[in-house]
Structure 1
């Protein structure tokens, strides 16, 4: 006589969730728990205990065997499956993590080669970011490539109000760490004047224009063939990845730079 178990009652919800997050399917958990409770058994007994069809149980047991959580004893038709100690579960996951880490290291090594053949020139991209987290993700994209220059227009006061001065200062620090300089035209608000005190340390060259005439509530960053427009007040951003558009915006920026510099001389 076979006794069916209810996995939901055998396992605490936290335990079931942990196994699911570790990559096990519902059926794998049911069969694994059934076999743990039985210790060992033939497929029919395990299937009925787990309330899963015999055919499916064969497949699941094969998966668990490959993971080292189940071993096979004897031959058909008296072949039995034996549950390994639960300690084997930790060993299996540790081995999986090691394999994934090795794969990650190998992928990091080949990323430059993949980028060399990655064709983005003919495929313009547009990305939309929304909310505070979205604004932060948009800003982080400007740090994706080191040793470059960002051309920008905007003002620090609205940035501080939107994402916080603390986050903004941390963003400046990361930018400097990656040796990314910024050349910009900024409205002379209180935040900008405060930021300007550290222009040299933060690799920043800015021309400040009168805030009453040229207040930039939308910030524009031009970098790496991308144009990023950020609305600090409406809390959304649009990033266009296109060499043609970026080149055009760079020319517009350079014209504005000449005009702002001439304004500063008057």
Structure 2
């Protein structure tokens, strides 16, 4: 019987404290709040709040006629009617959901393709991006200006990223700004599981872009230290296509 009542009250939206206080009220009959709180093993201040919630839900009532105010749980037939009313509301909601399923499916598909964007700041934030890059499988495509990268990441951090990438067998292809740092990067390709091509001398930028999995990460350290990860299959595919176009054009 207790299990059945608990199940009914749960269906009616009651939490554990409300169920305990209702059962105390249901089994004891009309009683004062202190007595009910003791039976339900609740503090009186908590029991007062919980009782107000039960009254608001129509599951209990208070009697002002007695010398000491008492509270009473609704009888079984009223509880059955409350459950039936709840089931009717659920039934109507189910029908409404079915009637609008087409629109809801379209909305769901639209939300599913919205890019997820996260922004990071400071050196620690950018190091978090590098860890995210290493957490996925597959080739990494990189646009870089090694001259500006070295302003933020020291040699140890730079080498740690490369070693971690090599350890996880993650090859990289790099399009680098044509400067001394870019040429040095290219010269070390063979030992670093990497292929680098230098961009035309007229091309210059400060930000680095990593294309990996379904994500695109952009890191800029020329003025503000900021990083952005965009997670979107469509965006990553577009960025990958632009990278491939530039890669092929460089021979």
Class of the TM-score when normalised by the shorter of the 2 chains: 0.5 to 0.7
For 1:162-241, what aligned pairs fall within 5 Å after superposition?
162-211=152-201, 213-233=202-222, 234-241=224-231
In the TM superposition, what is the alpha-carbon distance from 1:257 to its structure 2 partner? 1.2
Partner Cα separation in structure 2 for residue 176 and residue 194 of structure 1: 18
Residue 162 of structure 1 aligns to a residue whose secondary structure is: coil
- Superposed CA RMSD in Å reads 2.0
Contact 1:136 1:163 in 2 (8 A): no
- Distance in structure 2 (CA, Å) of the matches to 1:158 and 1:203: 22
Deviations 1:20-76, CA, capped at 9 Å, x for gaps: xxxxxxxxxxxxxxxxxxxxxxxxxxxxxxxxxxx8xxxxxxxxxxxxxxxxxxxxx
**Equivalent of residue 251 in structure 1, options 221, 241, 245:** 241
* Alpha-carbon displacement from aligned partner over 1:186-217 (angstroms, at most 9, x marks no partner): 11222222222220111111111244x11231
Q: What is the rounded CA distance, in whole Å, between the counterparts of 1:149 and 1:257 in structure 2?
A: 14
For the Cα contact (< 8 Å) 1:184–1:207, is it kept in 2? yes
Matches within 5 A, 1:13-92: none
Rate the CA distance shift 1:121–1:180 in 2: closer, same or farther, 3 A. farther
Q: 1:128 aligns with which of 114, 119, 131?
A: 119
Pairwise CA distance, 1:222: 0.6
Unaligned runs of 5+ in 1: 1-54, 56-119, 262-266
1:145 counterpart = 2:127: no
Whether the aligned pair in 2 keeps the contact of 1:131 and 1:236 (CA below 8 Å) is yes
- TM-score normalised per structure 1: 0.50
Give the TM-score of the pair, scaled to structure 2: 0.53
User: How far off is 1:166 after superposition?
Assistant: 1.6
Structure 2: unaligned runs, 5 residues or longer: 1-42, 44-110
Contact 1:153–1:216 (CA under 8 A) maintained in structure 2: no
